Chains A and B, each alone.
Chain A
Amino acid sequence: MSESEVAGSDIYLQPRVLFEHGKKYMICARSGHGKTSLLNFIYGSNLNYDGTITYGEPVASPFDLRLRKLSYLFQDLALFPELTALENVQIKNSLTGHKSDDEMEAMLDSVLPAGKKNQPLRTLSLGQRQRVAAVRALCQPFEFLLMDEPFSHLDRETSQAVADMVMREVDAQQASLIVTALDPIDYFHFDTTLNL
């Protein structure tokens, strides 16, 4: 990105930006202004930036935080079409054993139409997949939950249901939340809104 594109950003080119434990942040920007890039920088899946990101503890690679401290709802979802909705959640949960099978099924049932959780993911609509990805992101211990436009394919009512489920888990884990959106959203009670 050129300097003019990020002029006025609350994050890019700032000397220091701190995301604190237990707080909820909303990051708003238009398309193409680096929302996904920012989350990828934090998550360690994109290294093409200048500057440094520290995590409150020394780490060799942000990858080491993925199963303990960082969870990420990807904009492109990163789901496995060959697996069922439930299996998509299980394949992640099996890394940490954070949730029981009953808990995972209950979470899916709370956001998906009945019977969908055992269908292959490729038969689900985009919005339904987005909900599966949201459930999956909650199935691990984390201190920061990154959500990249989590409601882009959901109606208002469903978005609120997903947001409520997310809030329960975030509160239970006393974690922080960083959500990006094109336009401000009000499903969460954000502590801070940052513009990119």
Chain B
Amino acid sequence: MLRRLQRKTLIPAQIAGYAATLLVGVTIVMLSVQLYSDIKPVLTQQTDIFRNHAVTVSKTVSTLNTLNKQGIYFTDDEIASILEQPFVKNVARFNSSSFQSTASISFGQQTIRTDLFFESIPDPYIDVESNEWAWDSTSGFIPIIIPEDYLNLYNFGFAESQALPVVSQGAVEQINFTISLYGKGRQRSFQSHVVGFSGKINTILAPEAFLLWANNEFGSADGGNTSRILIEFADASDERIPAFIEQNNYNIKQDELENSKMVFFFRLAILFVIIVALIIILLSVAFIIMSLNLIVQRNRDLFVNLYSIGYSPRRIARFYQQTVSLITLADIAVAIIVAILLRGFYVDILSTMFHIEGSVIPIVATAVALAAILVVVYNIIILRTIRSTVEPTRNTD
């Protein structure tokens, strides 16, 4: 009976308007969050380096320090001061080999030999996945990673001009050669082959464990000077980074930050869309609250009469709390379906360009969060409005 009385007080057109605007707002917010979580891995996952926001930093080689090489090394103090920067999460050194090494390959009688060097960085910063990337001094095998650019230089430069055949990465990985290490009057040979090509790290990489062992065995245990370091940024899009790099005259591969800038702008664009959508949601919330206020104003007598005969404000508010909560939840449920359908469309388009993986958890999580916030807010506001309408007040004058 109470329900029947109160149902008549609702204004269907206003509720429909609320449902429609809320649907639009919630759908956009959910889709934006989903799009962000779908696209971000595509932009950042290209290399492990970027997942870590780490970039290779060296000092600028100028005519002044071609002979005095101290100028291109990072001192311990410098590394410590880099670590102190608020936007720097971690610094990793490139270890370099401090012993003589050669690589040799035999074709029947003929042996080609070349001098070689190695560097190493901690494994998490390596952008190549290989199950052969491991060092065991008893195995007699050293895996190495060379820059992608080396192969490109040969294939597109040298081979082209000399009319030589081009080779694939797979073919290079099949070539076995011998690596010999010399130092401290010792010599030892290992089998080796290329296990991967790095697009980001411009050096001949060997496992860090190997280099530590070999430096100890054949060279100086401290590994010598550090000319290159990896800086892992907390947020690579931090605007203080370019200034810091500039100020210290460090050298950084510009495009390494470009990608992060793209992520930053993408994030900014998504944020903007989310803010607009949140404003739409806020407007819809304001709209339904105004509608409820209008209902309360129009039906003031009804509510006061109910209160007079003993209905508590909580009981009077309950119908409106339930109605608005139910509409909101149903609306958000519809928005989830709409958002998932729309995501299907953009995934279809984007998956022709990228590999999109991931679930619709962001949509659902956003929906649950929005639903919880809205329902709580409505329940509080409605009860307060009813209470302030029906409860007598004492004039203060």
Contacts and interface: CB of A to CB of B under 8 A. Distances in A.
A92 B1 contact: no
Interface in A88-122: 90-92, 94-96
B395 interface: yes
A-B pairs with the 6 shortest C-beta distances?
A47-B394, A78-B305, A66-B310, A67-B310, A92-B309, A78-B308
A190 interface: no
A79 B305 contact: yes
A95 B310 CA distance: 8
Nearest to A66: B310
Contacts, number: 44
Nearest to A90: B1
Contacts of B1: 83, 87, 90-91, 94
A45 B306 CA distance: 12
Contacts of B309: 66, 78, 91-92, 95, 136
A74 interface: yes
A44 B394 CA distance: 11
A103 B269 CA distance: 69
A94 B2 CA distance: 10
A79 B312 CA distance: 17
A72 B307 CA distance: 12
Interface in A48-69: 48, 63, 66-67
B393 interface: yes
A80 B302 contact: yes
Contacts of A74: 308
Interface of B: 1-2, 5, 8, 302, 304-305, 307-312, 392-395
23 contacts: A44-B392, A45-B392, A47-B394, A48-B394, A66-B309, A66-B310, A72-B308, A78-B304, A78-B308, A78-B309, A79-B305, A80-B302, A82-B5, A82-B8, A83-B5, A87-B1, A91-B2, A91-B5, A92-B309, A94-B1, A95-B310, A96-B310, A140-B310
Contacts of A192: none
Contacts of A46: 392
A22 to B, nearest CB: 23
Contacts of B307: 63
Interface residues of A, number: 24
Contacts of B394: 47-48
Contacts of B392: 44-47
Contacts of B308: 45, 72, 74, 78
A33 B68 CA distance: 107
A66 B394 CA distance: 19
A94 B3 CA distance: 13
Contacts of B305: 78-80
Interface string A128-158: 0000000010001000000000000000000
Nearest to B311: A95
Contacts of A92: 309-310
B153 to A, nearest CB: 86
Interface hub of A44, A46, A47, A78 (most chain B Cβ within 10 A): A78
Given A63-B307, A80-B302, A94-B2, 8 more contacts: A45-B392, A47-B394, A66-B309, A83-B5, A91-B1, A91-B2, A91-B5, A92-B309
Contacts of A47: 392-394
A82 B309 CA distance: 16
Nearest to B391: A63
B304 to A, nearest CB: 8
A95 B393 CA distance: 25
Contacts of B2: 91, 94
Contacts of A72: 308
Contacts of A95: 309-311
Contacts of B393: 47
Contacts of A66: 309-310
Contacts of A136: 309
A48 B311 CA distance: 22
Contact of A80 (B5, B310, B395): B5
A125 B238 CA distance: 78
Contacts of A78: 304-305, 308-309
Contacts of A80: 5, 302, 305
Nearest to B396: A48
Nearest to B315: A95
B156 to A, nearest CB: 85
Nearest to B8: A82
A66 B308 CA distance: 8
Nearest to A62: B392
A86 to B, nearest CB: 10
A72 B305 CA distance: 12
Interface string A30-49: 00000000000000111110
B8 to A, nearest CB: 7
